[in-house]
């Protein structure tokens, strides 16, 4: 077993950190911290990420992708602020899904602009009445000649208000158990316009979470992805990779909180001594560091399991659930270590606290992840009899 990063892994991590400092942080800083970024700013960020190969890290290099292991991608992903990394994940895993499920011709049609960061994409599964149980989607697709007609509403979709293309999960009709037969379709916004609306949220406020309405939207038959009914399998494959990535987004935030708390403990004086010299403050710092380190290692472990080809349903669910809750507590403790200063907007810790609160929800809530891990442990499905 090897715990140290290889030289290549260190270089990749440094490259992502440097790219963030040089090309991404200035874009974020130039805009209102509480308003969604203009599309032009997001395109600038995606074009920068394309230089690192992480707009399509899961695709082979021969197809224009980064050809990266999930662990290598995770090491770079961790260096980005979540308002960027969560947008990137939505974009790049949509690319991976399209690449895996369509023809060579369609790859050429859809992917080059997305890989280069000239266009933005996303995946819409969640609906107003359908969240944790995607097999109940109500957005309907019916065939009409050589077109497919989509009717329904998608909600809580990352990037949707600024996307050029969306991969929509639809129901083709009930299966033998009465559940939706899922089918995924590509909708290109310039050819099939659809309405979107932004949803303002507690955290990740420079990001884009929104809803989309498909009112008998027509796409060519050819825009259907994969085979009828296999969308659930494809979603599971990408979710397994996404979950430890969301965990690493939490680690990014908690590491920043740890750095701030450690610095403050070395400066702030109470009772005639630096607060870092008080034993209980040292315990706070030790607890925060333990949360960051254990979360990071679990996420790396789950990503490495995927790279090794092991079944990762349990480890990736465990990594995301653990990391998002341990890091949320760690940020709260870092705020507490700052006394009243911890809740000030000036310091910025309160923003980390709001941002991390967003992360236990996408790609499986903590309850859902617990049941996935439980199913792996027992072989018993607690979702449906
Ligand atoms: C930042 C962010 C980004 C997102 N991005 C996307 C995206 O790009 N695309 C997309 O399609 N969706 C996206 N979502 C939506 C997300 O996937 C859903 O919000 C999530 O799946 C939960 O669905 P819900 O909100 O409808 O909650 P519900 O499913 O209604 O759940 C409500 C509560 O009930 C609990 N619950 C549900 N079922 C069970 C059960 N069997 N046992 C115990 N408890 C249960 C849940 O854990 C939760 O606490 C995003 C959400 C957020 C916050």
Asked if the structure places residue 246 within a domain, the reply is: yes
Residues 107, 155 within the same domain: no
Which amino acid residue places its CA nearest to atom 3 of ligand 1? 362
Lowest mean pLDDT, pick from 58-72, 142-156, 158-172, 223-237: 223-237
Nearest CA to ligand 1 atom 43: 367
pLDDT given at position 2:
86
Tokens 């789950």 belong to residue: 302
Pocket of ligand 1, candidates 94, 131, 243, 380: which has the most ligand atoms within 8 Å of its Cβ, to mutate? 131
Query: Do 237 and 342 lie in a common domain?
Result: yes
Same domain, 151 and 177: yes
Whether residues 185 and 299 fall in one domain = no
Residues 152 and 34 in one domain: no
Would you state the pLDDT for residue 291? Answer: 99
Residues 127 and 197 in one domain: yes
Cβ proximity of 81 and 218 under 8 Å = no
Residue count of the chain, please give it: 385
Ligand 1 site, residue 238, Cβ cutoff 6 A: no
Any atom of ligand 1 within 6 Å of the Cβ of 361: yes
Ligand 1, atom 42: nearest CA belongs to which residue? Answer: 367
State which of 208, 228, 248 marks the end of a domain.
228
Q: Residue 1 has what pLDDT?
A: 85
Give me the pLDDT at residue 232, please: 67
Q: Using CA positions, which residue lies closest to atom 6 of ligand 1?
A: 157
Task: Give the model's pLDDT for residue 235.
Answer: 67
For atom 45 of ligand 1, the residue with the nearest CA is 367
190 C-alpha to center of ligand 1: Å?
29
Say if residue 380's pLDDT is above 70. yes
CA of 368 to the centre of ligand 1 (A): 9
What's this model's pTM, rounded to 2 decimal places?
A: 0.97
Higher pLDDT, 385 or 383: 383
Q: Is the pLDDT of residue 266 over 70?
A: yes
Whether 362 is in the pocket of ligand 1, judged by its Cβ within 6 Å, is: yes
Domain assignment present for residue 384? The answer is: no
Question: 122 in ligand 1 pocket by Cβ < 6 Å?
Answer: yes
Answer yes or no: are the C-beta atoms of 274 and 323 closer than 8 Å.
Answer: no
- Residue where a domain stops, chosen among 228, 245, 276: 228
Query: Which residues, in sequence order, are CB contacts of 159 under 8 Å at separation 6+?
Result: 42, 87, 90, 91, 120, 121, 122, 208
**CATH code of the domain containing 111:** 1.10.540.10
User: 383 lies in a domain?
Assistant: no
Q: Per-residue confidence at 313, pLDDT binned at 50, 70, 90?
A: very high
Q: Are residues 138 and 110 in the same domain?
A: no
User: Which of 179, 199, 228 is the C-terminal boundary of a domain?
Assistant: 228
CATH number of the domain at 142, please: 2.40.110.10
| Cα 366 to middle of ligand 1, angstroms | 9
**CA pair distance 334, 139, nearest whole angstrom:** 43
236 CB within 6 A, ligand 1: no
- CA of residue 362 to ligand 1 center, whole Å: 6
Mean pLDDT confidence for 182-205: 97
Do both 350 and 243 map to the same domain?
yes
- Per-residue model confidence (pLDDT) at position 166: 98
Retrieve residue 19's tokens: 């790219």
Do 129 and 104 lie in a common domain? no
Can you give the pLDDT at residue 177?
81
Same domain, 65 and 182: no
3-state secondary structure the chain: CCCCCCHHHHHHHHHHHHHHHHHHHHHHHCCCCCCCCCHHHHHHHHHHHHHCCCCCCCCCHHHCCCCCCHHHHHHHHCCCCHHHHHHHHHHHHHHHHHHHHCCHHHHHHHHHHHHCCCCCEEEECCECCECCCHHHCCCEEEEECCEEEEEEEEEEEECHHHCCEEEEEEEEEECCCCCEEEEEEEEECCCCCCEEEECCCCCCCCCCEEEEEEEEEEEEHHHEECCCCCHHHHHHHHHHHHHHHHHHHHHHHHHHHHHHHHHHHCCCEECCEEHHHCHHHHHHHHHHHHHHHHHHHHHHHHHHHHHHCCCCHHHHHHHHHHHHHHHHHHHHHHHHHCHHHHHCCCCCHHHHHHHHCCCCCCCCCHHHHHHHHHHHHHCCCCCCC
Domain presence at residue 29 = yes
Q: Are residues 320 and 270 in the same domain?
A: yes
Mean per-residue pLDDT over the chain, rounded: 96
The answer to the question of residue 2 being in a domain is no
> Residue 230 pLDDT > 80, yes or no?
no
Q: Percent of the chain, pLDDT > 70?
A: 98
Residue 240 Cα, ligand 1 centroid: separation in angstroms? 16
User: Distance from the CA of 285 to the center of ligand 1, in angstroms?
Assistant: 32
For residue 153 the two structure tokens come to: 């509403």
231 Cβ neighbours under 8 A, 6+ residues apart? 169, 182, 183, 184, 225
286 within domain boundaries: yes
Q: Which CATH number covers residue 309?
A: 1.20.140.10
218 domain-assigned: yes
Average pLDDT over residues 36-52: 98
Residue 203 Cβ inside 6 Å of ligand 1? The answer reads: no
Number of structural domains (the chain) is: 3
CA–centroid distance, 42 to ligand 1, in Å, is 25
1, part of any domain: no
Specify whether the CB–CB gap between 258 and 285 falls below 8 A.
yes
Domain residues for the domain of 44 are 7-115
373 lies in the same domain as 300: yes
Say yes or no: CB of residue 239 within 6 Å of ligand 1: no
């Amino acid at each position: 077993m090897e715990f140290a990063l290889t030289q290549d892994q260190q270089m990749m991590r440094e490259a992502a950190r440097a790219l963030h400092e040089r090309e991404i942080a200035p874009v974020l800083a130039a805009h209102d911290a509480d308003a969604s970024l203009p599309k032009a700013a997001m395109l600038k960020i995606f074009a920068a990420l394309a230089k690192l190969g992480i707009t399509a890290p899961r695709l082979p290099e021969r197809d224009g992708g980064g050809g990266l292991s999930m662990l290598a991608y995770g090491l770079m992903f961790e260096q980005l602020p979540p308002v960027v990394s969560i947008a990137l994940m939505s974009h790049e895993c949509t690319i991976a899904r399209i690449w895996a499920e369509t023809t060579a011709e369609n790859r050429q049609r859809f992917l080059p602009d997305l890989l280069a960061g000239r266009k933005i994409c996303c995946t819409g599964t969640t609906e107003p009445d359908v969240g944790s149980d995607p097999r109940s989607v109500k957005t309907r697709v019916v065939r009409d000649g050589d077109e497919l007609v989509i009717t329904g509403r998608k909600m809580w979709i990352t990037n949707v208000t600024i996307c050029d293309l969306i991969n929509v999960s639809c129901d083709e009709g009930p299966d033998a158990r009465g559940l939706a037969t899922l089918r995924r379709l590509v909708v290109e916004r310039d050819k099939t316009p659809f309405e979107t609306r932004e949803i303002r949220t507690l955290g990740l406020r420079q990001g884009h979470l929104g809803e989309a309405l498909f009112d008998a939207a027509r796409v060519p038959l050819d825009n259907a992805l994969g085979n009828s009914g296999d969308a659930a399998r494809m979603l599971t494959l990408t979710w397994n990779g996404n979950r430890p990535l969301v965990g690493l987004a939490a680690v990014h935030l908690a590491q920043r909180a740890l750095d701030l708390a450690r610095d403050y403990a070395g400066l702030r004086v109470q009772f005639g001594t630096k607060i870092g010299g008080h034993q209980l403050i040292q315990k706070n710092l030790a607890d925060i560091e333990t949360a960051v380190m254990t979360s990071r290692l679990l996420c790396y472990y789950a990503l490495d399991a995927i790279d090794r080809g092991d079944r990762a349903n349990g480890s990736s669910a465990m990594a995301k659930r653990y990391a998002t809750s341990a890091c949320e507590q760690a940020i709260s403790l870092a705020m507490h270590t700052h006394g009243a200063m911890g809740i000030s907007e000036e310091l910025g810790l309160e923003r980390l606290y709001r941002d991390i609160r967003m992360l236990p929800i996408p790609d499986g809530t903590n309850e859902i992840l617990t049941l996935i891990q439980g199913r792996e442990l027992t072989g018993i499905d607690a979702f449906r009899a």
